[in-house]
């Protein structure tokens, strides 16, 4: 499906207050969310998307003092891609010093209300990425705002999707389902530090789910704490030890 672009004229964008910095190419894109409350009603009402994009531009220009909305493009739940600064222009949303490396792609997803990116949001983000590769020399990387910058953005669900390699929803021949590795047969726990490939496998899956955990094959304090928080989130007994039930939940439970 071709990209469904909403031009600046179509969404009633204000004129930028100055000239953009030029970008010949980038290493890729960084994915953002709006944070804050996004009403779930947005899903049934595209007019709300237009209003939200305009309010973000106002906030960036009048609140942050930027010359324009900070994002390269903004993606709504109707798989429409709003033109922000666009390709070949320096964004402002990645954080100081991080804007020339990546274009900034926003998904209209909040931290409360509408928090789970729908398939159309994910497709729209990938449509936008292809557009930025095509027109703006964007490289292969798809990262989250929080990669290299201290922020919750783009939120747990979007970040977990980024970590999984930002697959097209619905899969396909290029996106086979992750095989679910069987329980290694020993409980992973700390102390003392446990070492092994099974630890690494579990850590990698936790990272895919959006947990900030080193994949080092060492089950120490950080792994135990992440495990305990995960167990609490999933209503498992919070032992901080990866038993069979916790191992299976790490692959089978939906990411929230
Ligand atoms: Zn962000
Ligand atoms: Zn929309």
Residuewise pLDDT in 10s, the chain (256 residues): 689 999 999 999 999 999 999 999 999 999 999 999 999 999 999 999 999 999 999 999 999 999 999 999 999 999 999 999 999 999 999 999 999 999 999 999 999 999 999 999 999 999 999 999 999 999 999 999 999 999 999 999 999 999 999 999 986 544 455 568 899 999 999 999 999 999 999 999 998 888 989 999 999 999 999 999 999 999 999 999 999 999 999 998 888 7
| Sign of the torsion formed by the C-alpha atoms of 179, 184, 190 and 193 | negative
Residue 241 DSSP code:
S
Q: Which residues of 237-254 are buried (b: 16+ CB within 10 A; e: fewer)?
A: eeebbbbeebbebbeeee
194 vs 188: CA distance, rounded Å: 7
CA of 211 to the centre of ligand 1 (A): 17
CA of 231 to the centre of ligand 1 (A): 28
Cβ 87 vs Cβ 76: under 8 Å: no
CA of 103 to the centre of ligand 1 (A): 11
Cβ 82 vs Cβ 6: under 8 Å: yes
Cβ 158 vs Cβ 144: under 8 Å: yes
Residues measured by CB to lie within 5 Å of ligand 1, the ion = 32, 145, 153
254 vs 256: CA distance, rounded Å: 6
CA of 154 to the centre of ligand 2 (A): 19
CA of 127 to the centre of ligand 1 (A): 19
What percentage of the chain's residues is helix, strand, coil (to nearest 5)? 35, 15, 50
| Sign of the torsion formed by the C-alpha atoms of 117, 119, 124 and 127 | positive
**Nearest Cα to Cα of residue 200 among 155, 208, 13, 192:** 208
CA of 70 to the centre of ligand 1 (A): 10
CA of 199 to the centre of ligand 1 (A): 31
Alpha helices of the chain — where are they, by DSSP H? 8-11, 46-58, 119-136, 156-163, 197-208, 221-233, 244-252
DSSP three-state, residue 29 = strand
206 vs 84: CA distance, rounded Å: 33
CA of 95 to the centre of ligand 1 (A): 8
């Amino acid at each position: 499906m071709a990209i469904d672009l909403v031009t600046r004229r179509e969404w009633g964008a204000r004129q930028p207050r100055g000239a953009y910095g030029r970008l010949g190419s980038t290493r890729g894109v960084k994915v953002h969310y709006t944070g804050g409350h996004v009403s779930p009603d947005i899903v049934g009402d595209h007019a709300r998307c237009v209003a939200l994009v305009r309010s973000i531009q106002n906030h960036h220009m009048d609140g942050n003092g930027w010359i324009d909305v900070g994002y390269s493009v903004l993606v709504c739940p109707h798989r429409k891609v709003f033109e922000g600064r666009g390709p070949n222009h320096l964004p402002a949303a990645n954080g100081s010093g991080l804007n020339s490396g990546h274009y900034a792609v926003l998904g209209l997803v909040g931290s409360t209300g509408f928090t789970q990116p729908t398939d159309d949001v994910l497709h729209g983000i990938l449509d936008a990425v292809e557009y930025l590769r095509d027109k703006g020399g964007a490289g292969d990387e798809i990262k989250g705002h929080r990669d290299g910058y201290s922020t919750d953005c783009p939120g747990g669900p979007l970040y977990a999707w980024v970590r999984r390699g930002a697959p097209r929803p619905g899969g396909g021949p290029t996106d086979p389902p992750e095989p679910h590795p069987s329980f290694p047969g020993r409980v992973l726990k700390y102390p003392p530090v446990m070492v092994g490939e099974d630890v690494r496998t579990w850590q990698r899956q936790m990272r895919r789910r959006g947990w900030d955990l080193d994949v080092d094959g060492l089950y120490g304090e950080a792994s135990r704490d992440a495990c305990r928080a995960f167990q609490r989130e999933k209503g498992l007994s919070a032992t901080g030890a990866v038993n069979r039930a916790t191992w299976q939940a790490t692959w089978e439970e939906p990411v929230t």
